[in-house]
Structure 1
Amino acid sequence: MSVVEDNLAALGLSVPEVAAPAGSYVPALRNGNLIYTSGQIPTVAGELQAVGKVGAEVSAEEAAACAQTCVLNAIAAVKSVVGDLDKVTQVVKVLGFVASDPSFDGQPGVINGASDLLGKAFGDKGAHARSAVGVAVLPKNVPVEVEIVVAVED
Structure 2
Amino acid sequence: MSADDRLLRLIGGDRLAQRPKGNYKNITRWGDLVFVSGKSAGRSVDGKMPKGRLGQTLSLDDGIAFAREAALELLLTLCKELGSLERVQQVLDIQGFVNADASFEEHAKILDGASDVLVDVLRDAGLHARSVFGCVSLRGGQPVILRAVVGLKTSPREKPFQFSTDFR
Shared fold, TM over 0.5: yes
Q: Is 2:18 the counterpart of 1:19?
A: yes
Deviation of residue 134 (structure 1)? Answer: 0.3
Q: Which residue pairs with 1:127 in the alignment?
A: 127
> 1:99 deviation in Å?
0.4
Identity of aligned residues (%): 30
Equivalent in the alignment of 1:33 = 32
Kindly state the Cα deviation for residue 150 of structure 1 after the two structures are TM-superposed: 1.0
The equivalent of 1:100 in structure 2 is 100
CA RMSD of aligned residues (A): 2.0
Contact 2:78 2:84 survives alignment (8 Å): no
Query: Alpha-carbon deviations, 1:77-113, whole Å to 9, x = none?
Result: 2123211111101011110000001100110000111
**Displacement, 1:34?**
1.0
Distance 1:15 1:72, change over 3 A: farther
Alignment of 1:55-94 (within 5 A): 55-94=55-94
Residue type of the alignment partner of 1:27: N
Please tell me the residue identity of whatever aligns with 1:85: L
TM normalised by structure 2 equals 0.83
Question: How many residues are aligned here?
Answer: 152
Whether contact under 8 Å (1:53, 1:99) holds in the other structure is: yes
Residues 43 and 50 in structure 2, CA contact (< 8 A), matched pair in contact too: no
User: SS of 2:38's equivalent?
Assistant: coil
Distance 1:92 1:13, change over 3 A: farther
Say if 2:35 is the partner of 1:6: no
Indicate the structure (1 or 2) with the bigger Cα radius of gyration.
2
Residues 6-42 of structure 1: per-residue CA shift (max 9 Å, x gap): 2234445468312111211111111111111100111
3-state SS, counterpart of residue 43 of structure 1: coil
User: Equivalents in 1 of 2:16, 2:29: separation in Å?
Assistant: 18
